[in-house]
Amino acid sequence: MTAPPESPAAPPGHYGRGALVAVLTTQPLATTLDYLAPEGGCHLGAFVEVPLGPRQVLGVVWGPGKGGFDLAKVRPVTRVLDVPPMRAEMQAFLARAADYTLTPLPAMLRLATRAPGLAGGAMMRKVYRRAGPEPARMTEGRARVLDALDAFGGAAVTLSELAEAAGVSPSVIKGLVKAGTIAGEDSPRDTPYPRLDPDRPGVALTEDQERAAEALRQAARAGGFSATLLKGVTGSGKTEVYLEAVAETLRAGRQALVLLPEIALTAEFIARVEARFGARPAEWHSGVTMTERRRLWRMVAEGGAELVVGARSALFLPFRDLGLIVVDEEHDSSYKQEDGVIYNARDMAVLRASLAGAAVVLASATPSLETWVNAQTGKYARLDLTTRYGAAVMPAISAIDMRSEDMPAAHWISPSLAQAVGRRLEAGEQSLLFLNRRGYAPVTLCRACGAQIGCDHCDARMVEHRFLKRLMCHQCGATKPVPSACPSCGAEGRLAPVGPGVERLAEEAAALWHGARIAILSSDRFASARALKAQIEAIAQGAADIIIGTQLVAKGHNFPLLTLVGVIDADLGLQGSDLRAAERTFQLMRQVAGRAGRAERPGEALLQTFQPEHPVIRAILSGEEERFWQAEAEERRAAGAPPFGRLAGIILSSTDLAQVSDFGRELAMMDAPLRAIGARLFGPAPAPIARIRGRHRVRLLIKAEKTAPLQAAIARWLGQFRPPSGVRVTVDIDPQSFY
Ligand SMILES: Nc1ncnc2c1ncn2[C@@H]1O[C@H](COP(=O)(O)OP(=O)(O)OP(=O)(O)O)[C@@H](O)[C@H]1O
Ligand SMILES: [Zn+2]
């Protein structure tokens, strides 16, 4: 039973006062809840505050109320928030994303409302300015406040900002207000971002670049959904090309979103946007302040932000008219969100673009196999840039056969690689030694009893971090001091590091090359994204001779002086049984090698390997990329593996091992809904990392045909059970990791 609308002339999508509306809240409830539209009514999609028990919670008017119960008991919406209503496109996106990832809709709504102060409504804030003569009593603190105000030169400044700039407590400022010297006034909090000028001249594009740029401009002009793989070798100018698509989108008056896989890359990208369009874009990632997040969220909704550069969560921003999404380095595994709501931002970008009528550009030198196949089958358009820009040429890649190198124990830099580095040092060029292992040594072993030091909470070995002087678990982050005696047998002084991490490699390099400036680039070495950015910039300017880095350095940085890349262990990624081991190794090696020789001087990449004849190593060396993808695709097709078949991972965890094992078996026994769609269930089996943070983990794997209705079947299957309390069930559709 639905209440009649207040007035028959109400516009579509508007509910008059007293009409029954369904509100989706961010609370973990199974369904929407019915409320009465408030005084003045509300629009479909309106952000509202509603009573839930004793509390007020945030919600969105999702549609007409479901009714079917006593209307007298339905409570009215408390108030409609002063932000633009959620658009139908966004509602559809959240609903489809929820269905795809098997995530409850309220959790999706939480992703879409991750800005502070939406309900706060305080659109104004107090800012301070000079208002009268100097106070009768002038103190040093007061003088500093007035100096600081002058220094701000009329820019809006809040109490806390002013206090911080002047180095005084807020009471000093309040004293000046009382004295009439300065005044606080309310001013709008959220202001639009500076306009970008798409018609400023960009760089002169090469013929190849121009061809690709024109195709992307056309896609942007066409105004509907399209998906394009922009595949260009490292240093070919993909960024310059897709900025042309951004320009065309802005000309059409629509908004653009550029996703980057790594916050550390944003500084360089923003500088390029500023050079191209004369102003900075809006930034959205974990390093952005709350005030700025709030401003961005609102401005995106109101159209006061034309271009957003951000992390994967920027996909859930309330764009008013999204015309373009660029996913840069689209193959990057960090686009997969692995906890909380598990989703792949690359796939969600395509979904959102299709609903918004936007163009999506997936850019990479080494695309994911999924995207490569989509381009092969014509589902996506494909544009290729096959040469580096300008004088730069692709680096020569060759292998160092470690079987014939003379390697003393506990050394990892072969004589051949050392020679090559030595030549760079003499020439004043930079070398990068790449090792994808953080810390000093991956294993700490007791030479008396053979025990390895493990984490107390996880089924994982502790990694020594000599820089921090601790052992650290890379699963849960727990740390402990390096003991002097073996925790197993008590032997004193017999613990030894085994294997290399970047810190140990730096030690070896320092012993080899006295006086060389060595910099370690590894995420755990930097307290903040800002510090990391600064270090990357310094290195680009030449502040280091030898860079020792983890995969952090593989991601699109430009180091113009870098001419040699040495990969310490090219076999590392090939060891696992991971479905994507070959693909990942191929991508990573090609990307890392691509850091070399990006300016005038040619680059070289040397891969230390014990198996130079391995097909993946050979493919990396030969550079015959298309053949590699072809072969990899064939193998996956034969195995019915993604992207030709579908997978879903089910992870059960509990502090009680028996409980989680029993529940796993129960799930496996009642798999009829899965069999009904021809899917196969494997497991339960203890997860490769069988315990994390004290929780025992059991995995099941579902394999289905590409077209099978997998999510619906999983929902029916899981719907048969009530997990015992304490058991957590995580569904990972299209899993990327299997730990
Ligand atoms: N047409 C051009 N005119 C001037 N400079 C250019 C041009 N094209 C590319 N460049 C420069 O060449 C370098 C490489 O370009 P860009 O970073 O766009 O390449 P990319 O393909 O995105 O590389 P990667 O995949 O390694 O990130 C940059 O410094 C860029 O400014
Ligand atoms: Zn741990």
459-470, pLDDT tens digit by residue? 888 999 988 889
627 and 650 both lie in a single domain: no
Q: What is the C-alpha separation between 293 and 211, in angstroms, rounded?
A: 37
Is residue 591 in some structural domain?
yes
82: domain CATH number? 3.40.1440
- pLDDT category at 286 given cuts 50, 70, 90 is confident
Helix (H), strand (E) counts: the chain? 20, 33
Domain end, chosen from 188, 215, 236, is at 188
CA of 238 to the centre of ligand 1 (A): 6
Coil vs helix vs strand at 461: strand
Q: Are 356 and 263 in the same domain?
A: yes
The 10s digit of each residue's pLDDT in 415-438 is: 999 999 999 999 999 999 999 899
Tokens of 523: 């995420």
Residue 224 and residue 153 in one domain? no
267, 285 contact by CB (below 8 A): no
pLDDT tens readout for residues 646-690? 999 999 999 999 999 999 999 999 999 999 999 999 989 888 888
Q: Number of structural domains, the chain?
A: 5
Q: Please, what is the end-to-end C-alpha distance for the chain in angstroms?
A: 50
CATH number of the domain enclosing 716: 3.30.70.600
Whether 164 contacts 155, CB under 8 Å: no
Cβ-count burial of 154 within 10 angstroms (0-12 exposed, 13-18 middle, 19+ buried)? exposed
Domain end position, chosen among 587, 611, 633: 633
* Overall average pLDDT of the 151-172 stretch: 76
Name all residues whose Cβ lies below 6 A of ligand 1: 203-206, 209, 232, 234-240, 365, 389, 556, 558, 594
CATH number reported for the structural domain that contains residue 547 in this entry = 3.40.50.300
Nearest Cα residue to atom 8 of ligand 1: 237
Asked whether residue 444 is assigned to any structural domain, the reply reads no
Find the 430 Cα to ligand 1 centroid distance in Å.
20
Task: Report the separation in Å between the CA atom of 587 and the middle of ligand 1, taken as the mean of its atom positions.
Answer: 19
Nearest of 675, 660, 680 to residue 723 by alpha carbon: 660
pLDDT at 4 over 50: no
Q: Which pTM value belongs to this model?
A: 0.86
Judged against a pLDDT cut of 60, whether residue 77 lies above it is answered with yes
Atom 25 in ligand 1: which residue has the minimum CA distance? 234
Give the ligand whose atoms come closest to the C-alpha of residue 367.
1
Share of the chain above pLDDT 90, in %: 60
Would you state the structure tokens that stand for residue 119, as one six-digit string?
């309900």
* SS3 readout for 221-269: HHCCCEEEEEEECCCCCHHHHHHHHHHHHHHCCCEEEEECCCHHHHHHH
Read off the pLDDT of each residue in 59-63 and give the average, rounded to a whole number: 95
Cα–Cα distance, 368 to 364 (Å, whole number): 9
Q: Which residue has the higher pLDDT, 558 or 211?
A: 211
Within 8 A by CB and 6+ apart from 31, the residues are 66
CA 237 to ligand 1 centroid distance, Å: 3
Q: How far does residue 589's CA lie from ligand 1's centre (Å)?
A: 20
DSSP H or E stretch at residue 113? none
pLDDT over 50 at 474, yes or no:
yes
79-93 pLDDT per residue, tens = 999 889 999 999 999
Residue 470 lies in a domain: no
Residue 377 shares a structural domain with residue 242: yes
595 with 661, same domain: the answer is: no
Q: How confident is the model at residue 491 (pLDDT cuts 50, 70, 90)?
A: very high
Report the DSSP pairing between strands 562-567 and 359-364: unpaired
Phi–psi pair at 258, nearest 5 degrees: -115, 120
d(C-alpha 181, C-alpha 186), whole Å: 17
> Average pLDDT of 255-268?
87
Which pLDDT band, with edges at 50, 70 and 90, does 226 fall under? very high
Residues 364 and 406 in one domain: no
Beta strands across the sheet bearing 55-64: 33-36, 20-25, 55-64, 47-52, 79-80
The span from the CA of 14 to the CA of 12, in Å, is: 5
Closest C-alpha residue for ligand 1 atom 10: 237
Q: How far is the CA of 692 from the centre of ligand 2 (A)?
A: 6
Same domain for 166 and 30?
A: no
Q: How far apart (Å, rounded) are the C-alpha atoms in residues 612 and 566?
A: 15
- 543 and 424 in one domain? yes
Q: Is 449 annotated as a binding residue?
A: yes
Q: Residue 114: pLDDT band by 50, 70, 90 thresholds?
A: confident
Residue 475 lies in a domain: no
Residues 590 and 654 in one domain: no
From 208, 236, 240, the mutation candidate for ligand 1 (largest count of ligand atoms within 8 A of CB) is 240
For residue 533, the model assigns a pLDDT of 75
In a domain, 106, yes or no: no
Q: Residue 665: CB partners within 8 Å, gap ≥ 6?
A: 684
In a domain, 624, yes or no: yes
Of 42-51, 233-242, 617-626, the range with the lowest mean pLDDT is: 617-626
pLDDT at 191 over 60: yes
Strand partners for 680:
703
Q: Is 42 marked as a binding-site residue?
A: no
The pair of three-digit structure tokens given for residue 42, joined into one six-digit string: 């509300």
Greatest pairwise CA separation for the chain in angstroms = 88
**Among the atoms of ligand 1, which is closest to the Cα of residue 385?**
21
Residues 180 and 222 in one domain: no
Q: Which domain holds residue 282?
A: 207-385
DSSP H or E segment with residue 673: helix 672-675
Element (H, E) at 416: helix 415-427
Pairing relationship of beta strands 604-609 and 562-567 according to DSSP bridges = parallel
> Which position has the higher pLDDT, 190 or 48?
48
Mean pLDDT rounded to a whole number for the chain: 89
Counting ligand 1 atoms within 8 A of each CB, the residue from 216, 239, 273, 588 with the most, and so the one to mutate, is 239
Q: Which of 159, 188, 217 is the last residue of a domain?
A: 188
Q: What does 302-355 look like in DSSP terms, one character per residue?
A: HT--SEEEE-GGGGGS--SSEEEEEEETTT-GGGEE-SSS-EEHHHHHHHHHHH
Alpha helices per DSSP H over 670-734? 672-675, 710-719
Q: What is the pLDDT of residue 225?
A: 97
Dist CA 646 CA 677 (whole Å)? 12
SS3 at position 712: helix
Which tens digits make up the pLDDT trace of 689-722?
Answer: 888 999 999 999 999 999 999 999 999 999 999 9
| Residue 466 covered by a domain | no
Write out the two tokens for 738. Answer: 């299997």
Residue 738 lies in a domain: no
Q: Which residue has the tokens 């100096």?
A: 147
Sign of CA dihedral 37, 40, 46, 47: negative
Report the alpha-carbon distance of residue 74 to residue 420 in Å, rounded.
Answer: 76
Shared domain for 670 and 724, answered yes or no, is yes
Q: How far apart are CA 416 and CA 608, in angstroms?
A: 9
> Ligand 1 pocket: which of 230, 327, 389 to mutate (most atoms <8 Å of CB)?
389
What is the Rg, in whole angstroms, of the alpha carbon atoms belonging to the chain?
Answer: 29
Q: What is the ipTM of this complex?
A: 0.96
Do the beta carbons of residue 247 and residue 200 sit within 8 Å? no
| Residue nearest to ligand 1 atom 9, measured at CA | 237
The pLDDT of residue 715 is: 94
Tokens matching residue 665: 């078996």
Q: Which residues contact 626 (CB under 8 A, 6 or more apart)?
A: none
At 10, the pLDDT band (50, 70, 90 cuts) reads very low
Six-digit token string for 87: 């658009």
**Does residue 542 share a domain with residue 623?**
yes
Weakest-pLDDT range from 66-70, 332-336, 451-455, 717-721: 66-70
